[in-house]
Amino acid sequence: MEGFLFQASVYLAAAVIAVPIAARLGLGSVLGYLAAGILIGPVLGLVGSETEEVQHFAEFGVVMMLFLIGLELEPRALWNMRHRLLGLGGAQVVLSTAALMGVAMAYDQPWQVAFAIGLTLSLSSTAIVLQTLTEKGLMRTQGGRSVFSVLLTQDIAVIPILAFLPLLATNISGGLLPDGSISLSSGEVETAHAGAETSQAGETAHAIETYIQSLPGWGVTLVTIGAVAAIILVGIYLTRPVFRYIHLSKLREMYTALALLIVVGISSLMTVVGLSPALGAFLAGVVLASSEFRHELETDLEPFKGLLLGLFFITVGAGINFVLLFEKPLILISMALLVIIVKAHILMFLGRLFRLKGQDEWLFTLALAQAGEFGFVLVSFSLATGVMPDPIAETLLLVIALTMLITPLLFILYDFISKRSNGAAPVTPDEIDESGPVIIAGVGRFGQMVNRMVQASGFETVVLDHNPETIAVMRRFGFKGFLGDPTRPDILRKAGLQDASVLVVALDNPRAAVALIAYARKENPNLHIVSRARDRTEVYRHYQAGSNDITREVFDSSLRAGRYVLENMGLTEFEASEAQKLFYAHDRASVRELAALWRPDVPPSQNPAYVARAKELQKELETAFLNLSTENDKDSA
């Protein structure tokens, strides 16, 4: 017990220390977890042989992650992804396997071993990639969706790969040690160890698994289909009654227990019938995506998923064989880089074939260029079934770990490319042949609503945006717009800035928005400028730059929501509307006053004059609402 507590303390302390530092440096949590593992394993030697056992436990985080991802996808969305799953994902596995098999054969490996190497290295890291995409908010981009499609295809492909690998066996597993004793492969060691300490439940599960494997092919197929059908039927018909039953207990921890039971139970069922637990969990998540209990499940499982994935990354770092790495550092690092380069070229080709462009193409290429955690499983299985010898397996495990270690650096490279392309992408502007009284700079969600309303009222607008796709979509719906950078003086002059009455600044880039306001105010002092700001700080910047009317992104919608709350708390529609008007007027006056006290070089919370006046204004607001309530009571009487 003491040893377990010490090891748990080591893992948790490493994560708590290393991950925040990595996040603060902008390196991402994954690289922090990997660095923590290297520190407590090869460097300090605080953890040792138990790392492999911990890794098997931590891999359950991948299962939870796919379950949670499934909760975000309805069956219809999954059906819409079928072309990418079969086309893009299937092509990636096939082409990567063929290319890496060719590289292995070029180094004089038998075709059976080379084939196993190609299959193993063709799979990418679901854990690292999805975790990083989620952290960076890239899952909903076209590139992120394409990456997810390939990862899901790879997880499905693990099943036939495991069934096919034994057919490549060229020698028996194990061998003779120098003292004449027989060595066992890692898979056999685990089996022997498990057999010595298996509980009654473990024996029952093993017996069921053995029985299923002894069935003829059609029998195994029926059992597999039955297991998948059971997951779907239970998800549709049984989860709602069970959740209602749990709700009656009024114990919060029972929701967490049920969420864990769903994932653990599905994983156990999938393991018994020989399928991937991650695939089963994903399927269950898709089935429950339309359930009213979806958010409960997400909330309960998210902390477990994060900790287990972090633990998995730590074990990857701790398990790197630095002795072997230091013996042949250049060769092994070169092999890892060769794997990444080969897969990156194939991914870039497929990205262009499936019409990914710009940042999406780079994201797709760099995110999937590594080998993955399933490679550890396939290498161990290949060793146990005699497909590849021990030296090849050891080298391959290290190469896989190195590619995973390099992956966070690939995402840093993507961030650099993304920022560079955003900042200096050459765009050939349209020839602007129109001018109007209203110029709208930026036509995203905000700008397009303003444009539609103004045009519907009978006024002409000149719309400018630097994004070719945005302008193309706008034209497809019958609205005219011009491609060009709205902050460029020559484009603004052609759009009629000198004679315009109103300029609407709806740019996503805060600095560009402030620069445009300042320039427009200088060039046309009589121009009325309406701008969009994200928060009060941006409001102050726009105010100082010369904007007349500044709209915060969520201000009006928040006011409307607040009015709905008041109506449902007993106020009449008139009373709630009056409260909304009072708050609106007071807030606008407050912002004007505080803008004069705001200093760009000092945070508002550290500006004494700003804080003092903000407190006074809040008291004035409370007094105004008290007076309004008193007037309403008199009117009611």
How many folded domains does the chain comprise? 2
Rounded distance between C-alpha atoms, residue 116 and residue 392, angstroms:
11
Give the residue numbers spanning the domain of 81: 2-175+203-419
Q: Domain boundary at 369, 388, 419, which?
A: 419
Model confidence at 135: pLDDT above 90 = no
pLDDT digits (tens, 9 = 90+) for 374-412: 787 788 778 777 888 888 988 898 899 889 888 888 988
Give 475's pLDDT tier (boundaries 50, 70, 90). Answer: confident
Query: Residue 451 in contact with residue 443, Cβ under 8 Å?
Result: yes
Residue 202: predicted pLDDT: 61
- pLDDT-wise least confident of 184-198, 256-270, 406-420, 517-531: 184-198
Contact 502, 437 (CB under 8 A): yes
Query: 215 and 130 in one domain?
Result: yes
The pLDDT of residue 191 is 38
**Cα within 13 Å of Cα(294), Cβ side:** 18
327 found inside a domain: yes
Task: Flag the least confident range among 56-70, 75-89, 187-201, 615-629.
Answer: 187-201
pLDDT digits (tens, 9 = 90+) for 563-576: 999 999 888 899 89
Q: Are residues 42 and 141 in the same domain?
A: yes
Are 508 and 617 members of one domain? yes
Question: Is the pLDDT reported for residue 337 higher than 80?
Answer: yes
Q: What is the dihedral of CA 586, 589, 438, 456, to 10 degrees?
A: 10
Instruction: Give which of 179, 213, 190, 171 is closest to 383, Cα–Cα.
Output: 171
Question: Is residue 66 pLDDT above 60, yes or no?
Answer: yes
At 73 the three-state DSSP class reads: coil
* The residue to which tokens 């921890």 are assigned: 253
Q: pTM for the complete prediction? A: 0.56
Instruction: Give yes or no: residues 261 and 125 share one domain.
Output: yes
564 in the same domain as 506: yes
Mind listing the pLDDT tens digit for each residue in 211-248? 666 767 677 678 778 887 888 888 888 888 888 888 78
Within 13 Å and on the Cβ side, how many CA atoms surround 341? 7
Q: Has residue 187 been placed in a domain?
A: no
Cα distance between residue 540 and residue 522, in whole Å: 18
State both tokens at 507: 């740019």
Q: Would you say residue 618 lies in a domain?
A: yes
> Per-residue pLDDT for 81 more than 80?
no
The pLDDT-based confidence of 20 (bands split at 50, 70, 90) is confident
Q: Is residue 344 part of a domain?
A: yes
Same domain for 356 and 447, yes or no, is no
More confident residue, 309 or 40: 40
| pLDDT value of residue 527 | 93
- Taking residue 469's Cβ as centre, other Cβ atoms within 10 Å add up to 10
The chain-wide mean pLDDT, for the chain, equals 81
Q: What is the pLDDT of residue 183?
A: 34
Same-domain check for residues 473 and 568: yes
pLDDT at residue 99, rounded to an integer: 95
> Which residue among 368, 386, 419 closes a domain?
419
**Confidence at residue 176, expressed as pLDDT on a 0 to 100 scale:** 30
> Domain boundary residue among 387, 419, 451?
419
Residue 409 shares a structural domain with residue 453 = no
Residue 257's pLDDT is 85
* CA dist., res. 635 & res. 629, Å (int): 10
Residues 319, 227 within the same domain: yes
Identify the CATH number of the domain in which residue 483 sits.
3.40.50.720
pLDDT digits (tens, 9 = 90+) for 424-444: 445 566 777 777 899 999 888
Supply the pLDDT for residue 630: 80
Q: Which residue has the higher pLDDT, 90 or 297?
A: 90
pLDDT at res. 95: 95
For the segment 462-469, the average pLDDT, to the nearest whole number, is 85
Q: What is the pLDDT of residue 35?
A: 83
Question: φ, ψ for residue 504 (rounded to 5)?
Answer: -105, 120
What CATH number is attached to the domain comprising 167? 1.20.1530.20
Q: Is residue 457 part of a domain?
A: yes
Percentage of the chain surpassing pLDDT 70?
A: 86
Between 594 and 277, the more confident residue is 594
37-41, 55-59, 508-512: the lowest-pLDDT one: 55-59
**pLDDT tens-digit readout, 178-199:** 333 333 333 333 333 444 444 5
Answer whether residue 117 is part of any domain: yes
* Higher local confidence (pLDDT), 86 or 502: 502
pLDDT, residue 103, reads 93
- Answer whether residue 143 is part of any domain: yes
Residue with the larger pLDDT of the pair 540 and 284: 540
pLDDT digits (tens, 9 = 90+) for 100-116: 999 999 988 999 999 99
Q: Residue 427: its pLDDT value, please?
A: 55
User: What pLDDT sits at residue 418?
Assistant: 80
Residues 453 and 580 in one domain: yes
Query: Is pLDDT larger for residue 612 or for residue 291?
Result: 612
What is the pLDDT at residue 516?
Answer: 93
Q: Is the pLDDT confidence value at 261 over 90?
A: no
127 and 18, same structural domain? yes
The 8 Å CB, 24+ separation contacts for 447-455 are: 447/504, 447/506, 448/474, 448/479, 450/504, 450/506, 450/530, 451/479, 452/479, 455/479
Q: Are residues 483 and 621 in the same domain?
A: yes
197 lies in some domain: no
What's the full length of the chain, in residues? 637
